[in-house]
Amino acid sequence: ELKVEQNPLFLSMQEGKNYTIYCNYSTTSDRLYWYRQDPGKSLESLFVLLSNGAVKQEGRLMASLDTKARLSTLHITAAVHDLSATYFCAVDPYSGGGADGLTFGKGTHLIIQP
């Protein structure tokens, strides 16, 4: 059974600081996604990482994937209040036989304080 572990699960940080969210998963996969969820809202796709060594950046967020270590990171640079949200990583165990569904981490609840 695929397991996806995120840490930390809760993060309170100050504006202007840098931090990294970690996502470890238990089985071979080269498909990993990061989503953002605001309270009461749906999931917004942030990054799609489809190969070992993939790095994607959008504004103050940068995501990377190391399939050998089964690890993805989401790095926040110079945080601003608008980035406060819950961030999920999700792994797709797709093996060529059809979609098996995404397995999500428990999410990292990020609060950025002025």
Partner 1 sequence: KAGVTQTPRYLIKTRGQQVTLSCSPISGHRSVSWYQQTPGQGLQFLFEYFSETQRNKGNFPGRFSGRQFSNSRSEMNVSTLELGDSALYLCASSYRGYTEAFFGQGTRLTVV
How many residues line the site for partner 1 (CB under 8 A)? 23
Q: Evaluate whether 17 touches 79 at the Cβ level (below 8 Å).
A: yes
| Other CB atoms within 10 A of residue 89 CB | 31
Closest contact distance (angstroms) between CB of 47 and partner 1 is 10
Q: Evaluate whether 2 touches 91 at the Cβ level (below 8 Å).
A: yes
Pairing assessment for the beta strands 32-37 and 43-49 based on DSSP bridges: antiparallel
Closest contact distance (angstroms) between CB of 11 and partner 1 is 17
Phi, psi of 65 (to 5 degrees): -135, 130
Of 107, 108, 110, 112, the one binding partner 1 by CB under 8 A: 107
**Distance, C-alpha 15 to centroid of its chain:** 20
Of 41, 51, 53, 55, the one binding partner 1 by CB under 8 A: 41
Reading the block at residue 101, the tokens are: 């569904």
Interface mask toward partner 1 for 83-102; x: CB under 8 A: -----x-x-x-x---xxxxx
For position 43 contacting partner 1 by CB under 8 A, the verdict is yes
Residues that bind partner 1 (CB under 8 A): 31, 33, 35, 41-45, 48, 88, 90, 92, 94, 98-107
